[in-house]
């Protein structure tokens, strides 16, 4: 399993538009194969800060997500509403690391890029 945490610092202007974009991303992403969970959370002390927590079964599912049309559309719209660049961190479960290591040993497929 892979968990990704992204932090968005939004401009006050247009925030409701971004929230609508994010709600749409939740629906579309949850319908993707390999998506375990996908949810945004608004800050309590800084309501213009939004955190995305997403969980994926494996790196392949996550990479497929990054290639979707709805991801392209979301990113194309998002930039105009950001105060600063999105900060993203990925966390890989020990099981997924073991699978990736085995795949690399067998050279069954190229190493996955995790964003």
pLDDT, tens digit, 9 for 90 and up, residues 32-68: 999 999 999 999 999 999 999 999 999 999 999 999 9
Number of domains forming the structure of the chain:
1
Whether 115 is in a domain gets the answer no
Domain of residue 38, residue span: 2-106
Per-residue pLDDT, 9 = 97
pTM: 0.80
- What's the mean pLDDT in 84-99? 82
Per-residue pLDDT, 103 = 53
The DSSP annotation for the chain comes to -EEEEEEEEB-STTHHHHHHHHHHHHHHHHTSTTEEEEEEEE-SS-TTEEEEEEEESSHHHHHHHHTSHHHHHHHHHHGGGBSS--EEEEEE-HHHHHHHHHHHHHTSSPPPP--
> Over pLDDT 90: what percentage of the chain?
77
Whether 114 is in a domain gets the answer no
Mean pLDDT of all residues in the chain?
Answer: 88
């Amino acid at each position: 399993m892979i968990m990704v945490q992204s932090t968005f610092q939004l401009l006050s202007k247009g925030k409701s538009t971004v929230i609508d974009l994010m709600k749409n991303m939740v629906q579309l992403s949850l319908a993707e194969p390999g998506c375990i969970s996908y949810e945004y959370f608004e800050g309590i002390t800084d309501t213009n800060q939004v955190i995305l927590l997403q969980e994926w079964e494996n790196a392949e599912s996550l990479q497929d997500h990054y290639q979707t049309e709805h991801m392209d559309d979301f990113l194309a719209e998002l930039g105009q509403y950001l105060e600063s660049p999105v900060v993203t961190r990925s966390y890989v479960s020990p099981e997924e690391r073991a699978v990736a290591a085995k795949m690399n040993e067998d050279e069954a497929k190229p190493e996955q890029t995790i964003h």
